[in-house]
Structure 1
């Protein structure tokens, strides 16, 4: 079975647990923090994957490191360690956060622009593109990319809306090349 399917199953279980105990918001906050911890601390993954370190030692580290976290989140991490599934923790967190965004009607979006966008520009982009993908709003991640020359390129999931100058030039070039081949 693929890692993605397994990660999705753990995320679904944690999501259902959060719904039953009315702790979805708390789980979301904790998992966002946990995601940052795992991204910024490669040694933690190395420790959790190390074959010479016992499962009990790994679970003890999780217990001590995440004392302020809910029992459900900590127990999920311990369960993943018990089953030697440490490598899917980040993917499980990503699936959970995606489920939370879907439940709220929010989507994650990458916006490529030549410069950093202002709050009002981000708000307008969110208001413009959210209905196009059937969402109430977008969480925007602004990526500064001078190679687009001007305009913006928006990526929401697997959809790309390209209003950049470089994108328009590329489309014009393709039209000219295909017209010359005829």
Structure 2
């Protein structure tokens, strides 16, 4: 994430917090982010220098004006005016980071070889909430390279309970003993 994305995302968050719109704006920002991912040619169009700025802003107004919160529409127009649409995803990340910080939320990514069922996910979430002392938003990812066990990323820490991770740790300890 760039410094520009941090600055803009943080500024929008401060405005949203002041207006008590953080929940609404975060949800809408993620929806717009997903739309941009699904339609990269639209984002390219918004950054096209041969199209006058007013026309690009008009496109944003037509697309989001009647549906999105006014602050978000104006934020998108501002990014468009300053040729910063490529920074939108980073702005969303910063907005979410500030939101999570203010609401005592930690995001965690669990990687396993197979999809975990609801009971397993609930048990893992409970354990991670105990470790972090925060409410945990758990995202699941499967990776066939993980033969057995789980790998969890939580607040920048990696908790590796995979067979591969354990074998690697044992190998490291054996090498320390032999040397």
TM-score normalised by L of structure 1: 0.91
How many angstroms does 1:130 deviate by? 2.6
Q: Which residue of 2 aligns with 1:88?
A: 87
Instruction: Determine if the alignment matches structure 1 residue 45 to structure 2 residue 40.
Output: no
Superposition CA RMSD, Å: 1.5
How many angstroms does 1:177 deviate by? 3.0
Q: Which residue of 2 aligns with 1:24?
A: 22
Contact kept, 8 Å, 1:113 with 1:153, in 2: the verdict is yes
* Residue number among 11, 19, 24 corresponding to 1:13 in the alignment: 11
Unaligned runs of 5+ in 2: none
Q: Which residue of 2 aligns with 1:122?
A: 121
Instruction: Determine if the alignment matches structure 1 residue 156 to structure 2 residue 151.
Output: no
Count residues with an aligned counterpart. Answer: 178
> Within 1, Cα distance between the matches of 2:89 and 2:146?
31
TM-score normalised by L of structure 2: 0.92
Q: Which residue of 2 aligns with 1:141?
A: 139
Listed as ranges, the matches of 1:69-80 within 5 Å are 69-80=68-79
Task: Name the SS of the counterpart of 2:125 in structure 1.
Answer: helix
